[in-house]
Amino acid sequence: MSKSIGQFNVITSEEALVDKALLAKALNCFSWATTDMFFTFSNQNNVLKLTDDGWCDEPTVFPERIISLEIYDPKEINQIKEVPPEEATPIDLENIEDHTYASADLEDICKKISPAIKSGYILLSCTANHTSSMYIYQQTLKIHKDGSGSQNYTFIHFRDPERTTHKFFEYKPQ
């Protein structure tokens, strides 16, 4: 079966001040790809890092909300515990058995992630290619300190140009 393989990036505006530890926890409340892709933060070098350096299957900035993670204990294989994503440790993230999901809209994403942004904005971006070169897509998600945000989606189909599309969504808190 063919699929899209791409890369995921997190970029901040020049004036951005971000609590990276809080940002990693907030981002890990969502499923950003069909493969497990999580964010870790290292206090030692103040770096927000993505698993597999951001490479993943079917990356997206239109994620599902992770309600809970099912974590297995490598020492006791029959032991599985449920952990809320914001409480998962780096060791938990290495031992995920399954997830429980719910749909997430732009408002939900902005409300969960914006508290980590003290000034400016963050931009999440992904680009992917279909493994048989049928299409390419590029998506961005921009979230501002005030909780507003936007999602951009561009899809280019090489074999059927009529399927090429661009969509834009925006959320502004009341």
CA of residue 147 relative to chain centroid, distance: 17
Calpha distance 76→91 (Å, rounded): 14
Percent of the chain with pLDDT over 70: 96
Q: What is the pTM of this model?
A: 0.85
| Strand duo 76-83 + 96-102: pairing | unpaired
Phi, psi of 39, deg, nearest 5: -110, 140
Residue 22, Ramachandran bin (φ over 0: left; ψ between -120 and 50: alpha; else beta): alpha
Cβ-proximal residues to 174 (8 Å cutoff; 6+ apart), any chain:
none
Averaged over 146-156, what is the pLDDT? 97
Residue 46 is predicted with a pLDDT of 64
Q: Please give the average per-residue pLDDT across 13-36, as a whole number.
A: 90
Is the pLDDT at 1 greater than 60? The verdict is no
- Do 95 and 71 contact (CB within 8 A), yes or no? yes
CA 50 vs CA 7, 9, 79, 119, 158: distances in Å? 10, 8, 27, 22, 30
Stated length of the chain: 174
